[in-house]
Amino acid sequence: MFPLRDTQKSRTAPIITISLVVVNTLVFLHETALRPYVLQRFVFTYGLVPSRFNDANPLDPVRYLPLVTSMFWHGGWLHLIGNMLYLWVFGDNVEDRLGHARFLLFYLLAGALAGLTQVALDGFSELPTVGASGAIAGVLGAYLVTFPRAKVVTWPFFFIPIPAFIYLALWFGTQLLEGIGSLGAPTQSGGVAVWAHVGGFIAGALLMKILEPPRVSPARNYY
């Protein structure tokens, strides 16, 4: 089921969400313009390679750059479009709740923590991990704990809006089961970095509680 829209209305323009969609798209267009051998070199440089990360000097700041740069590279048009669709549907409401600056900080932190989860549970892999899905999983986790009663319109069941709590819980459960099933499997076969999704989702739910500004109660007159 692919999300098409949600029923939660935003009060502010999703400036950061739109900017992230634009930046990710521009980076991907840059990817398509590179020659294959140059692209491969870029992906291994800016992607997150778990074994290389674990072998690097912990005091070297360059070691941590791929935790951020890997979020903006994608493996193909479908990879990009899928990620940006989820970001577009759910990101505006999380941004509305956090505010623009807090949302950008939240997004980067969730993505970095998602990458660290993948490194921790697939630490021997020599394949680069790329894509915004870890950070976007954080957005989904934040949405779940903030707007559980909202409805999500999906394809092909667009005529039956699904409660956000059910939709996102099913999404997370699927990722968790797939991650558990991958334990002990060969690490060099490639595929989806499901542990980044699991880690990002949990990180997003926790970060939302930490970064969320206090709710302002409406003014009242007392007699």
CATH number of the domain residue 138 falls in: 1.20.1540.10
What's the number of domains the chain is made of?
1
The pTM for the full model equals 0.92
DSSP letters spanning 161-207: PEEHHHHHHHHHHHHHHHHHHHTTS-SSS----HHHHHHHHHHHHHH
Flag whether 77 is in a domain.
yes
Does residue 219 lie within any of the structural domains? no
pLDDT digits (tens, 9 = 90+) for 174-193: 999 998 887 766 555 456 78
Cβ–Cβ under 8 Å, residues 23 and 91: no
Burial class (CB in 10 A: 0-12, 13-18, 19+), 9: exposed
- In-domain check, residue 220: no
Confidence grade of residue 217 (pLDDT, cut at 50, 70, 90): low
**CA dihedral for 70, 75, 79, 80, sign (positive or negative):** positive
Mean pLDDT of the chain: 91
Report the distance separating Cα 151 and Cα 71, nearest Å.
28
- Please indicate, yes or no, if residue 166 is contained in any of the structural domains: yes
Task: Give how far the C-alpha of residue 68 lies from the chain's centroid of Cα atoms, to the nearest Å.
Answer: 12
Dump pLDDT digits (tens) for 88-101: 999 999 999 999 99
Q: Identify the domain containing residue 27 by its residue range.
A: 2-211
What was the pLDDT predicted at 54?
A: 94
